[in-house]
Every structure is written in structure tokens, then in C-alpha cells.
Amino acid sequence: MLFFLVSACGASTKQNTPAPQNTISTIEGPEWVKTLVATYEQAPVGNPPRSIWQYTYKGQTVYYFPPQCCDQFSMLYDANMGVICAPDGGLTGKGDGKCPDFLQERKDEKLIWKDARKH
């Protein structure tokens, strides 16, 4: 069973990007992302709803998991589920300090999944 905590505060994803109408089988990304989506879809709807974003950062495809709640870190993973950093969130809103340029340097934004269920 795959389990990990992913959340934070202060994420600055572009809100005008439409949510994809994906089923788990049509989500683009590694298998671990699909497995995590299946786990999220079995849990109660978050507030705000969970989402997963794909970017290019420092020449690699990365997966950004925005904040789920106050004063918690967001998480940034590489394609192999390796943790890169917490770009934002936490008590200061500036993440863990390991990738302070992510929010400015990320490219090729793509919303790959957003929980479309209603509260």
C-alpha cells in the first residue's frame, strides 16, 4: 500500500488552468501518481480539493503537490517519486529552502489531476 502525507500552504498554481476530465487510466504520469490518485479518490474530499501539477524544472519533469492546509509544506517530486523539496508552505510560507527558485523557474505547467468531487 502506498501512503505518504502531501500537503502545504501558500501554493501559487495558476487557478485559470481547467481541470482535466481524467480517469485514473488516462492520467499522464508515472504509475505512482496514478496509485496516489486512486488513494485520494477513496479519501474524503479535501478543502481545497487536492490537485497534482506537472512542470519542467531544471531540465526534468517534476510533480508538484500544492498545499492542503495551513502551515504545511507542499511537496515536489521527480518522476521516480524522489522528494526534491518543499517549495512553499510551512510556518514562513517559503517551504524548506531547498528549492527557493522553483515557483519562479518552473515551466510547462500542466494540471494532470484535480479532485472534481463535491464536498
What is residue 22's predicted lDDT score, i.e. its pLDDT?
Answer: 53
Question: Residue 37 belongs to what domain range?
Answer: 24-114
pLDDT tens for each residue of 55-80? 999 999 999 999 888 788 999 999 99
Give the CB-side neighbour count of residue 76, counting CA atoms within 13 A.
Answer: 25
Q: Could you tell me if residue 90 is inside a domain?
A: yes
What is residue 52's predicted lDDT score, i.e. its pLDDT?
Answer: 96
Number of separate domains in the chain: 1
Q: Could you tell me if residue 67 is inside a domain?
A: yes
Q: Could you tell me if residue 19 is inside a domain?
A: no
C-alpha–C-alpha distance, residues 40 and 30, integer Å: 16
Q: Could you tell me if residue 1 is inside a domain?
A: no
C-alpha–C-alpha distance, residues 33 and 56, integer Å: 16
pLDDT tens for each residue of 26-35? 788 899 999 9
- Judging by beta carbons within 10 Å of its beta carbon (0-12, 13-18, 19+), is residue 57 exposed, middle or buried? buried
Q: Which of 14-18, 21-25, 55-59, 64-68 is least confident?
A: 14-18
C-alpha–C-alpha distance, residues 100 and 38, integer Å: 30
State the chain's mean pLDDT as an integer. Answer: 84
C-alpha–C-alpha distance, residues 44 and 29, integer Å: 23
How many residues does this entry show for the chain? Answer: 119
